[in-house]
């Protein structure tokens, strides 16, 4: 029997003219470990994490949720300029962070705070960054949620879409001390960027890529990015990437996929693509077990967005009542006898206290001195920046009474 001999083609001949219609192809299956009630479906897929680690997963997810609520409300009160919550995506952050080595370099997108929180980034620094105060490692130069931490191997976040792809591709190989080159998380909208195609092919040829983690967030009309319903994972095979689609509301599914991709990336020196399917919520969930009965809120893209313009209340109600990454893990903990209502109430109270203490500390701190606006751009400050700095200093000396200089360090 004749078969095509074209280089790179693995297929059969067809004698009937027939175009492939994207709307009739079967979708890629979504890998999961637990059902929505926290029941493990296949015992051999259970990662069998110890109690202490599962509790760390849960506490990190709920602490992130609490921090989100307080910072979101603080923006609405005019205390910070901008904020982006992580509601509904906690499982993708924490599941992947737990599966990586602590020294693996992460290029995160603008909704990635859970990775840093799992790695031990202090609440005080989250708050300092959002307030842009003197304790902010970025010296108040970045917009809120652009976190970064060299000590925790987390590259500073940037808002433009899919910048993680060329950044990761340009990363030195390897990135000591970790054998893993990079872990990229371009986010849902990164799948719509043209850079995906260029670096998709390029990443297969070099040793620098390890794992791309996409999150497909159903908080946006799907047709904007993929009318056929075939987003990121379907594109991977065309670029030679081993790909999988996982249930992003299942922290164990994200953990298993990331752990296996990392293992094989290091052992086989090839890239992987993980697409996690999630849904972005608005307000944090109420205490278990009344998780989906009290809220029918709409999750906004950011504090500058009104998501009611592009999704219905019925759609949000469905997800509120059916699934949430934190509730699924809470169900699992309950089944194992590792968590009860008393522990839940105590943790909620103590975690909120921790966040509020960090919040109040950040609010009391002054802003960095204005002259830092010009430093750290070049190794040696060029004459034009020195002139600009001197002009600003003279201006503030003359007209300082018109500015809130008391809020800044001298």
Report the catalytic residues: 73, 159, 301-302
How far apart are the two ends of the chain, measured CA to CA in Å?
83
Residue 19 CA to residue 2 CA, distance in Å, equals: 21
Nearest to 107 by CA among 161, 170, 172, 157: 157
Q: Which residues contact 117 (CB under 8 A, 6 or more apart)?
A: 60, 63, 64, 67, 93, 94, 126
Q: How many CA atoms lie within 13 A of 323 on its CB side?
A: 20
Query: Do the beta carbons of residue 188 and residue 180 sit within 8 Å?
Result: no
What are the b/e assignments for 171-202, b being 16+ CB within 10 Å?
A: beebbeebbbbbbbbbbbbbbebebbeebbeb
* Sequential DSSP letters for 151-167: GGTEEPP--STTTHHHH
For residue 288, give the 3-state DSSP assignment.
coil
Query: Do the beta carbons of residue 77 and residue 52 sit within 8 Å?
Result: no
Tokens of 213: 């983690």
Residue 193 CA to residue 180 CA, distance in Å, equals: 25
């Amino acid at each position: 029997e004749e078969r095509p001999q074209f280089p790179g083609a693995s297929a059969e001949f067809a004698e009937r003219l027939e175009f492939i219609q994207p709307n009739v192809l079967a979708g890629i299956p979504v890998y999961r470990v637990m059902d929505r009630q926290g029941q493990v479906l296949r015992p051999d897929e259970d990662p069998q994490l110890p109690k202490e680690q599962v509790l760390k997963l849960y506490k990190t997810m709920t602490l992130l949720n609490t921090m989100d609520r307080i910072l979101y409300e603080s923006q609405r009160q005019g205390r910070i300029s901008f904020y982006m919550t992580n509601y509904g995506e906690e499982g993708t952050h924490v599941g992947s962070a737990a599966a990586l080595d602590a020294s693996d370099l992460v290029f995160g997108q603008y909704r990635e705070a859970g990775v840093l929180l799992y790695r031990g980034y202090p609440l005080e620094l989250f708050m300092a960054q959002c307030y842009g105060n003197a304790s902010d490692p970025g010296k108040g130069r970045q917009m809120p949620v652009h976190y970064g931490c060299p000590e925790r191997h987390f590259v500073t976040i940037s808002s433009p879409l899919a910048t993680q792809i060329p950044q990761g591709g340009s990363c030195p190989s390897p990135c000591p001390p970790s054998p893993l080159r990079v872990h990229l998380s371009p986010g849902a909208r990164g799948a719509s960027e043209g850079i995906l195609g260029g670096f998709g092919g390029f990443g297969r040829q070099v040793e620098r890529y390890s794992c791309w983690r996409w999150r497909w967030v159903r908080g946006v009309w799907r047709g904007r990015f993929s009318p056929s319903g075939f987003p990121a994972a379907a594109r991977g095979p065309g670029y030679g990437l081993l790909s999988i689609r996982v249930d992003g509301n299942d922290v164990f599914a994200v953990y298993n996929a990331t752990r296996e991709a990392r293992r094989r990336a290091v052992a086989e020196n090839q890239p992987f693509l993980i697409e996690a399917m999630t849904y972005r919520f608005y307000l944090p969930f109420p205490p278990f077990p009344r998780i989906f009965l009290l809220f029918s809120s709409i999750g906004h893209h950011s504090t500058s967005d009104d998501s009611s313009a592009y999704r219905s209340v019925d759609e949000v109600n469905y997800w509120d009542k059916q699934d949430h990454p934190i509730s699924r893990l809470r169900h699992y903990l309950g089944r194992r006898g590792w968590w009860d209502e008393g522990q839940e109430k105590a943790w909620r109270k103590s975690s909120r206290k921790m966040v509020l203490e960090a919040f109040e500390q950040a609010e009391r701190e002054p802003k960095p001195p204005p002259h830092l606006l010009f430093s750290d751009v070049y190794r040696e400050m060029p004459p034009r920046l020195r002139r600009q700095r001197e002009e600003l200093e003279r201006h503030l000396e003359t007209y300082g009474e018109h500015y809130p200089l008391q809020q800044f360090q001298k």
